[in-house]
Chain A
Amino acid sequence: MEQPILPPESLTNEAIAARLTTTADKKQREGLIKKRNLVYLELNGCSGNIISLLNGQNPTFEYTLHSLVNLRYSNSLMASEGEQATEKLIDVLDEDFILAVEGAVALKDEGLYNVIGSWNDQPLTGLQAAQMLGERASHILAVGACATHGGVSAAKPNPSESVSLQDVLPDRNMIKLPGCPVHPDWFLGTLAHLLLYGEPETDNLGRPLMFYSTLIHDRCPRRPFFDRGIFAEKLGDKTCLFKLGCRGPVTRTDCPTRQWNGSVNWPIGDDTPCIGCSQFGFPDAMAPFISFDTTRVVKDE
C-alpha cells in the first residue's frame, strides 16, 4: 500500500477527485490507459441522469468526453439525427465498447412505448437497443433509478410495463448506480475506475462500494438529534427529520459527505428529508416523501 495522504494535503472531495483526474490524465499521456468507446443510451426515463452528469466537476463531463472515452452515441448530445444517428449506433456493434444505460426498458406492445429512433424505416425500440447492445458490450453500467430497478418509469400503475435493464439482460453482469438522478461523481468516478483499474468492488446488489457502502443515517450531521429523540416538526427545522419521513436510515450513499451541485449542499443540509431516491424500489417503496401528521396533534380529530 502507498503512504496514506495526510494533512496538510487537501482532503476535500474536490481535491481527491482532482487528484484522480490528474492521475488518469497522466496515465493516458503516458499511454498506460487507452480511450475506450462509450455508448450512452437513454431509454424510458426523463434524461435526468445525463443532465446531472453535465454538472460533473471532477472530472468534468467535457474532460470525460475529450480525454477518457470516445462517446460514440448519446441520444441527447450527439449532432446527428434520424437514421444517421442510428447508423452510428449500429457501427459500434462490431467494436469494443462500454455501455451506459439510463432509463427503464418498456415492455408493453413489444417495446413500442419507448422508440428511440428508426432503422431501415422501422421504429427502433428501447427494448431492441438494450438487448442488441447489452449482449455485445464489454461492460455495462445501469445509470439511475429507472435503469437499475425500474424506478419512476416502473412506478404504479406502470402503464408502459417498464422493467430494469437487468430484467431484459438476465445473464449479463452489470454495475448498478441507483439514484434519481445519479450523482455525477458516482457515474464519472465509476467510469474512471473502470478505465484505470477495471471494475470497482461492488456489494451484493451490484453497487460500487466506494460510493454506496454507508448508510446516510450513519454519517448524517443530525444523528445526535435522532439519538436523543429530538425531531423536526416541519420543513426548515434544524433537528432530525425522521418524523417527517426521512429515508436516510434505509438509504446507502455518500451524500452527507460528498453533497451535490459541486459539493454545495444536500437535501438534509437544506432541511428537507431524504426521499430515498437511491434505494431499490424508489419511488413506491419510499413513499410518502413527507408526512406532517406524525408529529402534529389534532385535537378534534
Chain B
Amino acid sequence: MHNIALLRLQMNHLVTQARQDLHSLSVMNDQSDQSQILQRLWDTVSTMHFISEMLANQASMPGYYVLPAPTLLPQQNGTTNQTSIPPITPLPNQTLPPPNQRQFTIEELATYDGKNGRPAYVAVDGVVYDVTNNRAWAAATHFGLTAGKDYTAEFQSCHAGQQSILATLPIEGSLT
C-alpha cells in the first residue's frame, strides 16, 4: 500500500502542474510558448490517465503489486519560463549494457526477426542495430521491411544523409 501513497503524491504533483500550466496559458500571448505548454499539459494529462489506470488496476486486484514505476515517472519541472520541455525518456534503453561486440553471421541475424518474443535486429554497413523498441519499427516491420536482415542498400536509398538515425539505435554487434 506504500505504492498507493506514492502514486497519490505523484498525482497531486501532476494536478498542481496542470493548474499552473492552465494559469500560464490564460495569461500568455506568445504562440510559440503556448504550444510548448500545451504539449506539456497534454503529457501531464496522459500521465494522470496512466496513474489512474494503475490505481484502478490495483483496486480491482487486491494483493496485486504495482510496478515500481513511481521512481521512473518523468520528473516534471515546475517552472513555466523554461525554453524547452524535456521529453519523457523511454525506459527500454536505460538498462542496456555498454555496446556489444558480438559477431553475427547473416544466418544468425535472420533469427532476430522480432517474432515470438525475440528481439528485432537489422544491419546497416556491417553494424547490427536493435530496433525492437524503436517507434518506427512496430511489430518488427518498417515500410515493408522485416527485421533480421541486412538493409545497407535500403538505408542508403531511403535515409541517405540521415546517419543521425543510426546514432540513436543501440548497437548489438557487427556482421561478419
Contact = CB atoms under 8 A, between A and B. Distances in A.
B114 interface: yes
Contacts of B39: 218
Contacts of A246: 138-139
A294 B42 contact: no
B92 A224 contact: no
Contacts of B50: 224-225, 228
B139 A291 contact: yes
Interface stretch (A76-84, A262-270, A280-288): A280-288
Which of A6, A243, A246 is the most central at the interface, judged by chain B CB atoms within 10 Å of its CB?
A: A243
A217 interface: yes
A297 B91 CA distance: 22
Given A4-B29, A221-B46, A227-B88, A294 B135 contact: no
Interface string A234-252: 0000100011111101100
A94 interface: no
Which of B43, B47, B90, B116 is the most central at the interface, judged by chain A CB atoms within 10 Å of its CB?
A: B116
Interface stretch (B1-9, B140-148, B149-157, B167-175): B140-148
Interface residues of B, number: 33
A72 interface: no
Nearest to B31: A1
A238 B50 CA distance: 10
Interface in B109-123: 114-117
B73 to A, nearest CB: 9
Contacts, number: 87
Contacts of A295: 117
A223 interface: yes
B144 A296 contact: no
B85 interface: no
Main secondary structure of the interface of A (DSSP, over half): loop
A227 B135 CA distance: 10
Contact of B90 (A229, A238, A286, A296): A229
A243 B114 CA distance: 10
Nearest to B74: A227
A91 interface: no
B53 to A, nearest CB: 7
Contact of A298 (B34, B42, B89, B116): B116
B116 A297 contact: yes
A243 B144 contact: no
A126 to B, nearest CB: 27
B36 interface: no
A61 interface: no
A57 B117 CA distance: 44
A27 interface: no
Contacts of A219: 42
A149 to B, nearest CB: 13
B143 A281 contact: yes
Contacts of A281: 143-144
Contact of B114 (A223, A290, A294, A298): A294
A284 to B, nearest CB: 6
Nearest to B25: A6
B49 interface: yes
B96 interface: no
Contacts of B88: 223-224, 227
Given A221-B46, A294-B114, A227 B90 contact: yes
A293 interface: yes
Contacts of A243: 138-139
Contacts of A6: 26
Interface of A: 1, 4, 6-7, 217-219, 221, 223-229, 238, 242-247, 249-250, 273, 281, 284-288, 290-291, 293-298, 301
15 contacts: A1-B29, A218-B39, A224-B46, A227-B88, A228-B50, A242-B135, A242-B138, A247-B138, A287-B144, A288-B139, A288-B141, A291-B140, A294-B116, A296-B116, A297-B117
